[in-house]
Amino acid sequence: MLERLNSESLPRLPADVEKPSYDRSRLTPGIVHLGLGAFHRAHQAVVTDQAMQASGDLSWGILGVSLRHPATRDALTPQDGLYTLAVRDAGPDGQDREHLRIVGSVLRVMVADEDPNAVLERIAYPQTRIVSLTVTEKGYSHEPATGHLRWDDPDILHDLEDPIRPRSTIGILVHGLALRRERGLPPITLMSCDNLRGNGDTLRSLVLAFALRVDVTLADWIDRNCTFPNSMVDRIVPATEDQDRQRIAGRLGVEDAWPVLGEPYLNWVIEDKFAAGRPAWDAQGGATFVSNAAPYERLKLRMVSGPHSALAYLGATLGLHTMADAANTPALRSFIEAMMREEIAPTLRGIPDAGLVEYRLRFLNRISNPALPHPLSQIAMDGSQKLPQRLLDTIRDRLRAGHGIDRLCLAVAAWLNYLRGEDEQGGVYAIQDPIAARLDRLLSRAEVAAHAAKPSQAAQRRATVLARFKPVFGDLGDSAVFVECLTKHLEALREHGVLHAVKAAT
């Protein structure tokens, strides 16, 4: 049995494995991070590691918080918080290559569900200066179509009544900030790194809305003192599989219970608005600080996240398994290229065409990476939370301008078609979505409406019911152009399949 990766085994790792060069015994915690999943550990934790190594400022150690499940805590605690980042791509010879780096910025991992009060105490810790988040879109207890807090969310209702044992992300933040204010501690920065439209502004709005229900003076203190920088993060981080653990252990000569994988590309843009300082994240090219992150966020959501989701739903329904499989299917690739070039790029005003062409080509090259199999099922999950900012905002812009939405609408139809839970090869898959039950009922209502209509009107009735689901589509269901386009593509997918539909739209 292999020895475990930890502080004692670290000096004995192979010379070609990159390791922290600073003294980890001198690390002190400055960041509390909610949502210590693979995405955070492949970007912010790595860049924090680089920043401390470059600057020598070791006051930015990370206290990680898993909101629900203990798996990450159980994997990393015996390893003293250490883990491996495996950066994978194909070399000039076409062969897979992999660079291993041991990341040392994580000091400790807690589980909020087991001891939420301990998390509140850490937010109210005098040395804590940043609370950052990667809790995914569904972790904000908000309605994606409007951005408003969902007051009927069971966790939000619970947290309004129980400030000692909050369950929701927003409840944890507000009750932690209340504790800071009670103790006379200085304000801090709350930084979302999730794929949300105006993620910092959205987080601020949700925190203030909840705080107003708790204590008006608390909301005023947060509003006047705390900062919520918007940020954009772009890196492909697939889920870690058992074969990855085995391969990495073979190279390390020790066992790492939870390494993470990532592509070489990393782009992190942050508004430089911090209430109590920040790490030197811009050291070694790790991050870029700007006064306004909105153009970068818009570019990423539309030219990366939107096409990513479209390929995931089309590819999964076709019976494919990885993003590389989908990206290397000629009909799908041609469709995505055309959608990005003809329908998405024109909505990105202020960015030179040459820059958009380079961005598109780089994205297509990244998702074709054979050394980094990214499961379509991982990308396809939580579609109800992702589509509003990834595809529907772009559709709204084009409708306002009187421009066509044909390919974008097919991408939306692909999601609705995917929700049926069966691919074209007869394979069945589960729908992973926080409102999966409501979506299932929506599909049933749409079918009832279609069967009750005249045959010539059945397809439009089905599409109309689906498009008027306001938690996702908002007011888009009132657009006759959108409903007509959705009708056409839903029927093409149902009657003729994915390849026929994308070829007709390309």
Residue 155's pLDDT is what? Answer: 96
CATH 1.10.1040.10 domain span(s) along the chain:
294-505
Question: What tens digit of pLDDT does each residue of 408-428 get?
Answer: 999 999 999 999 999 999 999
pLDDT band at 1 (very low <50, low <70, confident <90, very high): confident
User: Two tokens at 506?
Assistant: 């390309």
- Residue 192 near residue 200 (C-beta atoms within 8 A): yes
Beta strand pairing call for 267-271 and 83-90: unpaired
Write out the E strands in 310-458. Answer: none
Q: Specify the domain boundaries for CATH 3.40.50.720 within the chain.
A: 10-291
What mean pLDDT value characterizes the chain? 95
User: What local confidence, expressed as pLDDT, does residue 506 receive?
Assistant: 74
Average pLDDT for residues 361-368, to the nearest whole number? Answer: 94
CA distances for 473 relative to 24, 391, 393, 418, angstroms: 48, 10, 10, 17
Return the CA Rg of the chain. 23
pLDDT band at 93; cut points 50, 70, 90: confident
pLDDT digits over 66-89, tens only? 999 999 999 999 999 999 999 999
Rounded CA-CA distance 295/288 in Å is: 13
Q: Give the model's pLDDT for residue 59.
A: 97
Residue 140 DSSP code: G
What average pLDDT score do residues 184-205 get? 96
Mean pLDDT of 25-47: 97
Q: Which long-range contacts (CB under 8 A, 24 or more apart) does 8-11 make?
A: 9/254, 10/82, 10/102
Number of residues in the chain? 506
The fold adopted by the segment(s) 10-291 is Rossmann fold (3.40.50)
CA distance 6 to 295: 41
State pLDDT tens for residues 272-296: 999 999 999 998 768 999 999 999 9
> d(Cα 126, Cα 176) in Å, to the nearest integer?
12
- Burial status of residue 247 (CB atoms within 10 A of its CB: 0-12, 13-18, 19 or more): middle
* 101-131 pLDDT tens trace: 999 999 999 999 999 999 999 999 999 999 9
Query: Could you give the CA distance from residue 496 to residue 505 in angstroms, rounded to a whole number?
Result: 13
Instruction: Read off the pLDDT band of 95 (50, 70, 90).
Output: confident
CA atoms 296, 407, 434, 43: torsion sign: negative
- Note whether 370 and 461 are within 8 A (CB): no
Measure CA 356 to chain center. 22
Amino acid at residue number 502:
V
Considering the domain 294-505, what is its CATH architecture?
A: Orthogonal Bundle (1.10)
Per residue in 424-439, pLDDT (tens digit) is 999 999 999 999 999 9
The tens digit of pLDDT for each residue in 368-395 reads 988 998 999 999 999 999 999 999 999 9
Q: What pLDDT sits at residue 144?
A: 87
DSSP state, 124?
T
Find the mean pLDDT for residues 471-490. Answer: 96
